[in-house]
Amino acid sequence: MHDSDRFLETLMLVLCTSAATTVLFHWLRQPVVLGYLIAGMVVGPYVPIPFEADIEVVRTLSHLGVILLMYSLGIEFSLPKLMRVGVTAGVVAVVQCSLMLWIGYLIGQAFGWSRLASVYAGAVIAISSTTIIVKALEEQKIKERYTQIVFGILIVEDLIAILLLTILAPLGGGEALSAFEVLTTLGRLFFFLALVTAVGLWIVPRMMRAIVGFDRAETTVVASVGFAFGMAYLAEHYGYSIALGAFLAGSLVAESGVERKIEHLVQPVRDVFAAIFFVSVGILIDPRQIVEHWPLVLTFLSAVVFGKILAVTFGCLLTGRSVQTAVKCGMCLAQIGEFSFIIAGVGLATKATDPLLSSIAVAVSGMTTLLTPWLIRAAADTAGYVDRKLPRRLQTFLGLYGSWVEQLSKGSSNEHRRRAQRLGRWLAVDTVFLAVIVVGASLQMSRLSLLLRDYVAVSQRAAEVLVALGAIVVASPFWIGLVRMARALGFEIAYLAFPPGGKPQLDYAAAPRKLLVVTVQLVIVILLGLPLVAITQPFLPPLQGAVIWLLLVALLAISFWRGAANFQGHAKAAAQLIAEALARQTRDERASHVARNPLEEVNQIMTGLGSSIPLKLQAGSAAVGKTLAEVGLRGRTGATVVAIQRNGEAIVVPAGGETLRAGDLLAIAGTEEALDAAQRLLEPSEESPAATTPQ
């Protein structure tokens, strides 16, 4: 009876305090998540207020919030959507997690922590919080396309977190972890996902349609929530997270065709337990701990916010996303949450870390939770500012790089594509062998040096140097293979995107092809080198591997910068041709009635600019009277204005200060998605007179 009284008392304290703070913050027009965190601090043990909630009860209830939030996320973000952003999500998650693992390790070493504790520090700050992001986006009613990428990244990060936990747990306990165990873990994970998805797609949609067909709200809610908890339990039973199981449940329900009705019915239940989850985070915030270790907390906080924004933004740009999309994704993911607590708890349980890391994780999570709503609100303005301040050659490249990536994804299968796939596989093999050699040589250094001393009369230090040199010699073929394969893959992808045509002296694709070769090499070095540095850094002297990688990145960056300058000239020449085509259209009295794109011929000749379309600016457009920088077309849509035809004059590659006027004929280039978004942005508004007057 005592336990039940304590449970009711805790539930009363949490819900009543949450009710007061959510009303207050709604009245103040502030994110209610902040109110839930403050409610947690109020009922927690670290604030001198006469009532206190039972932490274990709150933690148990918070798991229900995680399950229901992830279930709702899965319903909103179905499997087909996940597949559409799969490449982008995978690339960004690998870049972001690798960089944060490396930064966290360096911070731990700088503050004198052990190598293993530093590895745990990197793992703690590597994974963003799905729960916090979902709630923040929902509160601000943001359902733009970039949120699909954000959710995809979060799912891939959850899978990486599961792998990290699998590897770190035995290491913290002092056990040896073999390569076979890691491969077995990966195999089990993928088998679990494939089996659940295959069986679920066959059963779940039919089952949910039948349940909703009863037309009883009570039955629908109980059955759908029960299914979510069942999947969460199944995932936890097989060693995975409840978040992953609940998300899979929602994704399967999303294929039923009745997911909107289910989501509407489940939402009130989800909101109650989601509030308890955020209260549970606030309970763990100890203001005294933050004050006592403020330099460490501030260092980790800065690393999380700035490191994640830069890593995610850069990762999105590598996959061809616009600056606007990239910056928004980066500013959404600048926090840590539930997985950070779990990883820190494993480190504490296995005695790999001390309680300080858990306190830092909670403090940083709490502060980044406070920052997240404001970062999301400021994302659009920040993206526009970044886009305006980029150098012209970089603006031109980023505005068109997305169309190159789109062209590659839609290209037909040919010999170049097959060779590119084969080279990609060899690159992965070389990277894995390099990691195995470095880690193996480090772990077996003592044993190998002892064996060497038995055969050669040398000192211990000399034996270690000889072992290191031997490892370098053994690894050298793989280093050389990486460089050669990266260069060859760059050429294959460049020729796949811009196949040569016509006479060599008339190869209009030469400039974009050369730039794409360097870009692909830079992408490969980052995508393969960054995880390699993160994995091998704990086994090498400080910054040794990182310096080599950074030097290689710097050399490729210089080559890229020069190539971007050459491409700027190519784009200017192409824009001149486009301007002439627009002029011909203007002179044609029937141009407005011609269905064919007047830039089609230019698109076929001048490759590298993506698809180009003409668009006449009407008087009712919101862009009239504004400069290109104020409109922010490139930042908001990813499309680029390459030429303007106005009163018989051509403006080629207009600068950001160019003011748009009614009647301007714009030539806009970019991906199909970017062009559609640009047309919607520049068309007359429904309220304008021009939009309502019959033509």
Q: What's the residue count for the chain? A: 695
User: Are the beta carbons of 140 and 376 closer than 8 angstroms?
Assistant: yes
Mean pLDDT of the chain: 77
pLDDT at 5 over 50: yes
Tell me whether domains 2-389 and 577-692 share a fold.
Answer: no
Cα(352)–Cα(361) distance, integer angstroms: 15
The helix (H) or strand (E) run that includes residue 616 is strand 611-616
- The H or E element containing residue 613 is strand 611-616
Give the residue, 606 or 384, on which the prediction is more confident: 384
38-70 pLDDT, tens digit per residue, is 888 888 888 787 777 878 888 788 888 878 877
At 176-205, the pLDDT tens digits run 445 555 567 667 777 888 888 888 888 888
**What are 287-314's pLDDT values in tens digits?**
787 788 888 889 999 999 999 999 999 8
> Residue 617 has what DSSP assignment?
P
What's the rounded Cα separation, in Å, for the pair 487 and 494?
11
Pick the CATH number of 2-389 from 1.10.10.10, 3.20.20.140, 3.40.309.10, 1.20.1530.20: 1.20.1530.20
SS3 627: strand
**Tokens coding 655:** 């600068």
**C-alpha closest to that of 58 among 71, 40, 72:** 40
Whole-number pLDDT of residue 693: 39
Q: If 0-12 CB within 10 Å is exposed, 13-18 middle and 19+ buried, where does residue 405 land?
A: buried
Backbone torsions φ then ψ of 51, nearest 5 degrees: -125, 145
* Statement: residue 173 has pLDDT above 70: no
Predicted pLDDT of residue 182:
58
**Separation in Å, CA 1 to CA 4, 5, 8, 59, 216:** 5, 6, 11, 20, 36
Alpha carbon distance 64, 571 (integer Å): 55
State which CATH number among 3.40.50.1000, 1.10.20.60, 3.30.70.1450, 3.40.50.300 fits the domain covering 577-692.
3.30.70.1450
pLDDT band at 558 (very low <50, low <70, confident <90, very high): confident
- Helices H, strands E: what count in the chain? 28, 4
What is the reported pLDDT for 470?
A: 79
Sequence-ordered list of residues with C-beta below 8 angstroms from that of 293, at least 6 positions apart, any chain: 356, 359, 360
In this predicted structure, the answer to whether residue 239 has a pLDDT above a threshold of 80 is no
* Highest mean pLDDT: which range of 161-170, 330-339, 579-588: 330-339
Once rounded to an integer, what is the mean pLDDT over residues 215-240? 87
User: Lowest mean pLDDT: which of 127-136, 588-597, 671-680?
Assistant: 588-597
C-alpha angle 664-670-671 in degrees, rounded to nearest 5: 135
Distance CA 165, CA 123 (A): 9
Residue 694 has pLDDT above 70, yes or no: no
| Angle at CA of residue 628, ends 686 and 615, nearest 5° | 55
What is the identity of the amino acid at 316?
Answer: C
Is pLDDT of 648 > 60? Answer: yes
| pLDDT value at residue 608 | 54
What are the boundaries of each domain within the chain?
2-389, 407-559, 577-692
What three-state secondary structure class fits 614?
A: strand
Instruction: Please give the Cα distance from 643 to 660 (Å, whole number).
Output: 12
More confident residue, 468 or 258: 258
Q: What is the mean pLDDT of residues 80-99?
A: 79
Digit-coded pLDDT (tens) for 100-155: 999 998 898 888 888 888 888 998 899 888 777 877 787 777 777 778 888 888 87
pLDDT in the model for residue 300: 92
Average pLDDT over residues 573-596: 59
507-551, pLDDT tens digit by residue?
A: 566 667 777 778 888 888 888 888 888 877 777 766 666 777 778
The pLDDT assigned to 639 comes to 76
Q: By three-state DSSP, how is residue 396 classified?
A: helix
Residue 667: what are its φ and ψ, rounded to 5°? -105, 115
CA–CA separation, 383 vs 380, rounded Å? 5
270: amino acid identity, one letter: R
Residue 303 has a pLDDT of 92
In angstroms, the CA 579 to CA 668 distance is 11
Position 390 confidence tier, pLDDT thresholds 50, 70, 90: confident
In 3-state terms, what secondary structure has residue 145? coil
Tell me the pLDDT tens digit for each residue of 343-368: 777 777 777 787 778 778 878 887 88
Q: What is the structure's pLDDT at 301? A: 92
Residue 184: which residues within 8 A CB-CB, separation 6 or more? Answer: none
Element (H, E) at 611: strand 611-616
Euclidean distance between CA atoms 399 and 669, whole angstroms: 8
Mean pLDDT of 22-46: 81
pTM (2 decimals)? 0.75
DSSP for 635-688 reads HHHS-EEEEEEETTEEEES--TTPBP-TT-EEEEEE-HHHHHHHHHHHSPPTTS
- Adjacency order of strands within the sheet including 665-670: 611-616, 665-670, 640-646, 649-652
* Residue 235 · residue 61 · CB < 8 Å: no
> Which of 116, 108, 9 shows the shortest CA–CA distance to 52?
9
Distance, in Å, from the CA atom of 650 to the CA atom of 647, rounded to the nearest integer, reads 8
pLDDT tens sequence across 493-518: 777 777 665 555 555 666 677 777 78
Mean pLDDT in residue range 73-79: 69
Residue that has been written with the tokens 């460490």 in this structure:
296
Confidence of residue 264 (pLDDT cuts 50, 70, 90): confident
Q: What pLDDT does residue 409 have?
A: 65
pLDDT at 77: 63
CA atoms of 132 and 304, how far apart (whole Å)? 15
Residue 304 pLDDT: 92
pLDDT of 288 reads 81
pLDDT computed for residue 548 by the predictor: 73
| pLDDT at residue 310, rounded to an integer | 92
Task: Give percent of the chain above pLDDT 90.
Answer: 3
Least confident of 330-339, 451-460, 499-508: 499-508
Q: Among the listed ranges 162-171, 230-239, 308-317, which one has the minimum average pLDDT value?
A: 162-171
Give me the pLDDT at residue 595, please: 45
Average pLDDT over residues 437-461: 71
pLDDT bracket for residue 589 (50, 70, 90): very low
Closest CA to 253 of 211, 195, 291: 211
Residue 308, pLDDT score: 93
DSSP 8-state class, residue 504: G
Output the six-digit token pair for 216. Answer: 């009883």
pLDDT, residue 588, reads 56
Query: What's the confidence (pLDDT) of residue 695?
Result: 34
pLDDT at 335 > cutoff 70: yes
CA 603 to chain centre: 32
State the pLDDT at residue 571: 67
Distance CA(262)–CA(225), nearest Å, equals 9
Instruction: Express the helix, strand and coil content of the chain in percent, nearest 5 each.
Output: 75, 5, 20
Give the C-alpha separation, 138 to 332, whole Å.
12
